[in-house]
Amino acid sequence: MVTTRSLEDLDAHSYQEYVATGQGLVLIPTGATEQHGPHLPLGVDAMLSRAISSAAAEELDALVAPAFSYGYKSQPRSGGGNHRAGTASLSGQALVLQTQDIALEFFRHGIRRVAVVNGHFENYQFLYEGLDLAVKQAQVVGLGGRRAMLLSYWDFVDDRTLEAVFPDGFLGWDIEHGGVLETSLMLHLHPDKVDMSRAPDHPPAELTPYDIFPEDPARTPGSGCLSSPAGATAERGELLLHTVRSGIVRAVTSEFGK
């Protein structure tokens, strides 16, 4: 029996014993290093995906891998833009190859199932490509029976939870960057890293249905937040975490068994 769910804190022999059960599952949190306004740290996306993975791991008998702390380029219509100070990004090719390499390494160890828990919107398609390539490559080199799963944690926030977290009405996922959802989760999971005295309170961004190059900083709020986090609370963060954790556990169990 493993004594920790954190792979980076586990010794190699205990990890080998876990793998030898043949039922091993590794959750890979992915995020970014990206500005989230003046009230939140740059590491929000990886912090949240790691914490959510850890919350689900015990029930799933899973290990949590070290998080991907860099992600694909922040975009104006979802993250404020890659031009903003503090945002440091990978190319799509780099993220695909990193995902493929790490998934293959776990497959090589004897892990048969990996699930990537995404915490940065722009990552998704590149994570998808990397996992697809990893599973195909595993088959080519004789590592049959390996399977992978990809999910973004916010996709498990149901309508009932949205109504509780946004009593005045939910304005849409496209402007939830540095807003109520991420800030509430951080207030619950990492309250020491949130400074609500610096939280901006301005109208939501009015976004175009297209992108332009080079990016125009004037098209998104100067705060870096696409909506105000003013309604965020730790209690709402706790509700969000409970909903997301339960949904992830159900989804992973339905695909991989328990």
Among 39, 120, 176, 188, the active-site one is 120
Among the listed residues 39, 176, 177, 215, the single catalytic one is 177
Question: Is 202 an active-site residue?
Answer: no
Q: Is 188 a catalytic residue?
A: no
Instruction: Please say if 242 is a catalytic residue.
Output: no
Q: Which two three-digit tokens encode residue 10? A: 């586990």
Of the residues 39, 45, 188, 215, which is catalytic?
A: 45
> Which of 34, 39, 188, 215 does the annotation list as catalytic?
34
Among 78, 242, 63, 74, which Cα is nearest to 158's? Answer: 242
Catalytic residue among 36, 39, 176, 215: 36
**Helices and strands (H, E) in the chain, number of each type:** 8, 4
Active site residue 45: yes
206 classed as catalytic: no
Selecting among 39, 176, 182, 188, the annotated active-site residue is 182
Which parts of the chain are beta strand (E)? 25-30, 63-64, 113-118, 147-152
Active-site position among 39, 122, 176, 188: 122
> Tokens for 179?
């807003």
Residue 64: how many other CB atoms lie within 10 Å: 27
Residue 65 near residue 102 (C-beta atoms within 8 A):
yes
Give dist(CA 110, CA 96) in Å, integer: 22
Please provide residue 130's backbone torsions phi and psi, each rounded to the nearest 5 degrees: -65, -40
Which residues are marked as active site? 34, 36, 45, 120, 122, 177, 182
